[in-house]
Amino acid sequence: MNQRVFNFSPGPATLPLPVLQEVQQNLLALPGAGASILEISHRSKTFEQIIAQAEANIRQLLNLPDEYHVLFLQGGASLQFSQVPMTFLRGSGRSADYMVTGSWAKRALAEAQREGGVRVIWDGKENNYSRVPKKGEYDVNPDAVYVHFTSNETIQGIQFPAEPETGDVPLVCDASSDFLSRPIDVKRYGLIYAGAQKNVGPAGVTIVIIRNDLLERVPDGLPTMLDYRVHAENHSLYNTPPVFAIYVVMLVTRWLLESIGGLEQMHAINQQKAQMLYDAIDRSEGFYRGHAQPDSRSLMNVTWRLPTEELEAQFVKEAKEAGLHELKGHRSVGGIRASIYNAMPIEGVRTLVEFMEDFRRRHA
């Protein structure tokens, strides 16, 4: 274990150590099954229990009412960019409202535009995607089929502090990079989707939470694999699901419940970690310049610049030598990005803050 570095990767991202240890311990034979999770049928009793437990954990963590279904799908959040508008927008004769807060929202918007009428009700372009909209800065069309927003922009490092106000229009959320990082007002949502590989597991599974009234609106004639109803009716076992990824999601959500104590506790820890980094930025006298405006600062992805690109490259290089990996910002925005999802220990953030202070003393 002494070879493990602090891994600030944006995704796939660091996982809780006890989860990895359990995976390792049981990789050759799951207790009672006599075979590996990689080798058993998705129709076996063992796996049925695993997927049911994963769903139960998510339900408990989010306090999910019965009218919501939990689906384990493939194709990433990127397929949801298409599947959502294919299902609800195409042929509806109505339009959908999109909030464009950064790189991922732009991708979602582009796919929706292929399917039907879309209104952009907010675009953060003029402030370089450094903040999310406040109440009153956007007008929801009361006749929109849904309002789409990206709760956390992984690349820019901005996050909605709370759900946008949409009246009776169903809220659709790309929660890929902050799913299960804090409590949410779940009844406000019609549909939530999240690729697992940022905060809740390995790559390969996408969690979709969908409310009954939206499920009932799924039109006939979609490809079977793109029909949410098929997956809901078959409890995500219509075809072979990503068995291993779902197994790890089950372990991560159990860790959240049993070791952390739930989403309120997780949120408090995430706030503490993010605050440590933003404090280091704020007291650096302009040496570190945060990208996000203070009221939109992400608790998951902290982004900042240094005085020059040369210093940024030097920072990333020296950090890596100090055991702090994957701190380079996304190629589209540059700078530094520290992804500090649920599984990043406070110790990792503390070590990064110490490194930041030391680096500044030497280079400011």
Give the nearer residue to ligand PLP in terms of CB position, either 311 or 333. Answer: 333
Catalytic residue among 97, 174, 178, 227: 174
Burial class from Cβ neighbours inside 10 Å (0-12, 13-18, 19+) for residue 76 reads: middle
Q: Using CB under 6 A, which residues numbered 65 to 124 contact ligand PLP?
A: 76-78, 104
Q: Using CB under 6 A, which residues numbered 188 to 247 contact ligand PLP?
A: 195, 198
> Which of 40, 47, 1 is CA-nearest to residue 20?
1
Please give the full DSSP string across 297-364, using - where no structure is assigned.
Answer: B-SSEEEEE-SSHHHHHHHHHHHHHTTEE--BPPTTT-SEEEE--TTS-HHHHHHHHHHHHHHHHHH-
Q: How far apart are the first and last CA of the chain?
A: 35
Give the nearer residue to ligand PLP in terms of CB position, either 30 or 191. Answer: 191
Residue 174: active-site member: yes
Residue 185: active-site member: no
Give the nearer residue to ligand PLP in terms of CB position, either 284 or 342. Answer: 342
- Using rule CB under 6 A, residue 337 touches ligand PLP: no
Choose the binding region for ligand PLP from 132-140, 170-178, 217-225, 325-333 (rule: CB under 6 A).
170-178
Decide if 231 contacts 83 (C-beta within 8 A). Answer: no
Choose the binding region for ligand PLP from 55-63, 171-179, 207-215, 312-320 (rule: CB under 6 A).
171-179
Beta strand extents in the chain (DSSP E only): 6-7, 68-73, 95-100, 117-123, 147-150, 152-153, 158-159, 171-174, 189-195, 206-211, 289-290, 301-305, 324-325, 336-339
Would you state the structure tokens that stand for residue 52, as one six-digit string?
Answer: 């049911």
Choose the binding region for ligand PLP from 132-140, 173-181, 305-313, 320-328 (rule: CB under 6 A).
173-181
Catalytic residue among 97, 122, 178, 198: 198
Minimum distance from residue 334 beta carbon to ligand PLP (Å): 18
Minimum distance from residue 322 beta carbon to ligand PLP (Å): 26
Residue 255: active-site member: no
Minimum distance from residue 73 beta carbon to ligand PLP (Å): 11
**Which residue of 57, 130, 150, 236 would you call a contact of ligand PLP, by CB under 6 A?**
150
Decide if 122 contacts 137 (C-beta within 8 A). Answer: yes
Contacting positions for ligand PLP (CB under 6 A): 11, 76-78, 104, 150, 154, 174, 176-177, 195, 198
